[in-house]
Chains A and B, each alone.
Chain A
Amino acid sequence: PHFIIELPDKNDALCFNINDKPGTIFNLVKDPLTGTVVNGQTIGDKKVNPASKENTYFGRFGIIHEKFGIRLMVSTQEILVSEHGKQAKLFWSDNTSVKGLNMDLQVTKDRSLTVTLRNSVKFVIILHKVWKKHPYHQDYLGFYTLDSHLFSRRVNGLLGQFYHGVQFEVSEPFAGKDVDKPDAFMFVKGHRLLVTRGWQKDFRNDVKNGENVPCWFIHNNGTGLIDGDLTDYTVSGLF
């Protein structure tokens, strides 16, 4: 999966990839004060193209809001919601809108799920539908945080640690390995990292083609940018 960290104050963005074995579950957001947790499980391609490396994507997300007693499991097949033990199942094939006491859900058919947790967070999960007979790829999901300002300062996770911004400096760019993509040095969290100017896609408005977002790419699974290392974010279950 590709992570993108937007920094409106700097009018810039950071990006990095996380690759591990398919099936790994990563913690994306964890806020101990509000009791909000978002975990995601990766999937791989149906089969690996011998000519390329194996890519992974998110295939399932598990979202918990302790205070509201909410659990949400979103896969490429279905959406399971439970609130204080009451359960409901929603399908990607229908336009659905559910307005609850503390949570609003809006499914846009075969495209996106918008989740608003009262006074807490708002996010969108995008469904990428792939041609069923595609030899390698399968359906996968994207996770976009729309409003994170109500998370506490203690929020962490692969995405959560950036909700209150990140301080960094970038040196003058210089020619890198790829002639179209200059490199630079980034000074962040006490590290000096070699980064590459590239872009990643925002699929919220155009789920098929996406829109390019220029960003500084941090190599090697975001090492140096993320706190700790990748194993610190792997968890044993979705909930």
Chain B
Amino acid sequence: SVNSAETEVQSVKIDCKVASRFAHTVMTSTALNKANVSQEVFFEVELPKTAFITNFSMEIDGKTYVGEVKEKEKAKKQYEKAVSSGQTAGLVKASGRKMEKFSVSVNIAANSNITFTLTYEELLQRHFGKYEIMIRVKPKQLVQHFEIAADIYEPQGIAFLDTYATFITNELLPLVEKTVTDKKAHLSFSPTLDQQRKCPDCDGTLIDGDFFIKYDVNRVQDLGDIQIVNGYFVHFFAPADLQRLPKNVVFVIDRSGSMSGKKMEQTREALQTILDDLYEEDHFGLITFDDKIVEWRPSLSNATKKNVNAAKTFVKNIQAVGWTNINDAVLRAVDILTAAEKNKTVPGNSASMIILLTDGDPTFGEQNLDIIKNNVKNAIGGNMSLFCLGFGYDVDYNFLDVMAKQNDGLARRIYEASDAVLQLQGFYDEVASPLLSEVHFNYPEDTVNSLTGSYFKQLFNGSEIVVAGQLNDIEMNDFAVEVSAQGAENYFVAKGQASAQKWDTIFPDQEYIFGDFTERLWAYLTIQQLLDKKDKGTPEEKANATAEALELSLKYNFVTPLTSMVVTKPETDEKPEDTLIADKLTEDQRTGVSTPSQTVPQTSYSYASSPINWVDGD
């Protein structure tokens, strides 16, 4: 955006290329300063939290300034130098639930132009049976050439593809062009200046919001789809038509004082629906805790209508008061599940899980986070998975995240807002239908190396498991693959041969797409898994994982939590050369942003209905 009418944004182009779920997005924007004096130009881009920035450049009057990815510590030294000389630094800030914002501003001389280019990459994840690409566009003014273009290449074939945008009106709808063939899709949206206008005589723009592309691929084979490109392979596994496994789930619900009011109310409401959604063959239990641990029943119950109704009555009466004893609550849940398995009161092929919902740090009983993690890990012993929901901003999310990952689960933040009930239900829906458990991927050891994770506790309906690796021989075109897992009716085993396809036949003229996409997908996935390992392993594993993740981040130019991108701004008459830093935010840093409960404490949800005792005058 620009501050003055004499500077105009000439073009904004968002170009997204997806090959086998790996998305590579380039955002380019050009502005021209027509004034006789220098002007400040702002470039702000919101990108998904799950993406890594890979490139940034500014071209000013033919001279290009390119961002350089460096080890964070080294970049920090440069940054500190910049800060000590009075310049500002950080370029990336948290923005809402799904995005983070990259922003930079530059002074450009009279009658000169500037082109900003930002590139980021991400592996699209399958949720509820679809992949989603979200592009946030807020050009803030009319743009001479505005274009969103997306090309999707999926060798498995595209099952369906939908697009919509929060800003698309009936007038703009016909402008979204969509061409979908068997394995390829092309989308474009390029409104003219007049079509962008809010009204015929005004300068306001209609283009302000989120543009979504959602699609899925065809799934047929039990073995999944394996693609071999340039010495790398990727295995996508989400077989169709699998029967659901029965599950044993214990909900562990925090009812400490800080949950009182809205959070407790939303939890009760969400649980009513979640309990209703249990399948008859499932077994379940409920534990509520503050400084005391209260079980609904001492052992698991069948999810019959009668039991579900009884549980719903129990849930209706949960009241928030007291301190937070996470340790004993989770251990009690483990005991209940372990006893059920030992006594064979649950089916042998069932999947066991604990869903913990809490809004704060432990404040009662065992409070040392490392000891709690150890206790939970030792008690679970790989026999069940733990999912943690952190409600609001006062939780130590990192603690929940690590504890969940150590126990084959994952953590999710529940944002305090009117839709918290839907967030809770949505999370449950994702894990409500396990299809397989103990999923093992086997590839011949003498053929592949540098494998990403090849064991998964569960495969959930609507999701997908991705494994990638390198081939020992770049010329190799096929190898044997086996996937084994516990299925609903019997043991699931799929065997087959992976073979390289003829990309030039499948995508004539577009073979360049596959140049290094698979390799970068492998690198992205490996870094993500190493970053997880860095948090949850032994000290030695942590050190090795950190070193390896750093090496890959630098090699593939990814801005990850271990690297920073150093951006040099050109010198101007008023200022010497600036050094700025683009970082990848961690979850802890994201929570450092202002939240309602921090900036307006008097009206925050957390405290609104806690007992407020006071003393004052008339």
Contact = CB atoms under 8 A, between A and B. Distances in A.
Given A9-B319, A204-B602, A147 B614 contact: no
Interface in A3-29: 3-9, 18, 28
Contacts of B323: 149-150
Contact of A119 (B363, B602, B606, B611): B363
Contacts of A202: 612, 614, 616
A126 B602 CA distance: 12
A116 B601 CA distance: 9
A142 B616 contact: yes
A122 B607 contact: yes
7 contacts: A1-B615, A18-B615, A40-B615, A55-B618, A149-B258, A149-B322, A203-B616
Where chain B touches its partner, the secondary structure class is: loop
Nearest to B599: A106
Given A3-B614, A114-B601, A114-B602, 19 more contacts: A1-B617, A2-B618, A55-B618, A57-B617, A58-B615, A106-B601, A119-B363, A122-B601, A124-B601, A128-B617, A142-B615, A142-B617, A144-B616, A147-B257, A148-B611, A162-B613, A165-B321, A165-B611, A202-B612
A192 interface: no
B368 interface: no
Given A119-B363, A147-B258, A150-B323, A28 B602 contact: no
A182 to B, nearest CB: 21
List 5 tightest A-B contacts by C-beta distance, closest first: A149-B257, A142-B616, A144-B614, A57-B617, A146-B607
B442 interface: no
Contact of B363 (A6, A150, A204): A150
A5 B260 CA distance: 17
Interface string A131-165: 00000000010111111111000000011001111
Contacts of A106: 601
Contacts of B616: 1-2, 4, 126, 128, 142-144, 200-203
Contacts of A231: none
Contact of A7 (B260, B322, B611): B611
Contacts of A159: 613-615
Interface of B: 256-258, 260-261, 319, 321-323, 361, 363, 598, 601-602, 606-607, 609-618
Given A147-B258, A150-B363, A205-B602, A6 B615 contact: no
Contact of A143 (B322, B601, B614): B614
Contacts of B615: 1-4, 18, 28, 40, 58, 142-143, 158-159
A233 to B, nearest CB: 12
Contacts of A9: 319
Contacts of A205: 602
A163 B613 contact: yes
Contacts of B322: 149
A25 B618 CA distance: 20
Nearest to B256: A149
Nearest to A116: B601
A52 B363 CA distance: 49
B361 A119 contact: yes
A5 B610 contact: no
A184 to B, nearest CB: 21
B159 to A, nearest CB: 50
> Which of B321, B606, B614 has the most C-beta atoms of chain A within 10 angstroms of its own C-beta?
B614
A97 to B, nearest CB: 9
B612 to A, nearest CB: 5
A8 B609 contact: yes
A25 B512 CA distance: 80
